[in-house]
Amino acid sequence: MGILLDEAPYILEKMPGGGIIITSADWLINWSRANSLWPLTFGLACCAFEMISTNMSKYDLDRFGVFPRPTPRQADLIFVAGTLTKKIAPKLKKLYDQMGEPKYVISMGSCSNTGGPFYDSYSVVKGVDKVIPVDVYVAGCPPRPENLIEGILKLQEKIKKDTIKNNDRAQIFK
């Protein structure tokens, strides 16, 4: 309950037509989304091992509410960890499309950020953002688990700034 009390909104926005309710709903929704990020693990190459070790007991992603899921239906975050080849790019798009809104993407490692060491290769996609939109880029080859955790915290910060009014993601509220 600590997080709830620490972060409870003490400044309420005034809006015509029920401002208090909008602000509180924003805060509650963002708080619950940010603290239960369930990632679909999409390990493609060496970076996948850093992602795995981040999930293991030493770094323990569970304490941030991050809990790996094997299916896109249950996931709201996808870690793209590794070299995305042109052959698997359509499959990544398909999995991303199967995830329910709201969905977030963390691109992990140089390969998925830009193509990395394989930038000149005939078969490697030059960045995951050519296929799906990316929220957080984690740099490194491979990034250490601390870097990935930092990326997750950055994503949580980003989610906490979301609002259900004027939100590009949540088309349903437009």
Partner 1 sequence: MTEPRYLNDIKGKFPGTEAVLPEKIKDGIPAFDCPPSLILDIVKYLKAEGFNYLMNLCATDYKDTFEVIYHLSALESKAKITLKVKINREKPELASITPLHPGANWQEREAFDLLGVVFTGHPNLTRILLSCDWEGYPLRKDYSRKPDQYD
| 45 belongs to the binding site for ligand SF4 (CB under 6 A) | yes
Which of ligand SF4, partner 1, none lies near 148, with the C-beta cut-off 5 to 8 A by kind? Answer: none
Q: Which two tokens stand for residue 92?
A: 């990544």
| 48 belongs to the binding site for partner 1 (CB under 8 A) | no
Q: Lay out the site mask for ligand SF4 across 51-70 (x = CB under 6 A, - = otherwise).
A: --------------------
| 44 belongs to the binding site for partner 1 (CB under 8 A) | no
Which of partner 1, ligand SF4, none lies near 141, with the C-beta cut-off 5 to 8 A by kind? Answer: ligand SF4
| 122/132 Cα distance (integer angstroms) | 20
| 145 belongs to the binding site for ligand SF4 (CB under 6 A) | no
Which of ligand SF4, partner 1, none lies near 37, with the C-beta cut-off 5 to 8 A by kind? Answer: none
Burial of 143 (0-12, 13-18, 19+ CB in 10 A): buried
| 83 belongs to the binding site for ligand SF4 (CB under 6 A) | yes
Stretch that binds ligand SF4, among 29-37, 44-52, 95-103, 145-153 (CB under 6 A): 44-52
Nearest approach in angstroms of CB 99 to ligand SF4 is 22
What DSSP state is assigned to residue 14?
Answer: P
- Which are the contacts of 135, defined by CB distance < 8 A and separation ≥ 6? 104, 105, 106, 155, 158
| 147/154 Cα distance (integer angstroms) | 10
Of 86-145, which residues contact partner 1 (CB under 8 A)? Answer: 86-87, 89, 122-123, 125-126, 130-131
Q: How far is CA 55 from CA 38, 48, 64, 148, in A?
A: 12, 11, 11, 10
Within 10 angstroms of residue 147's Cβ, the number of other Cβ atoms is 17
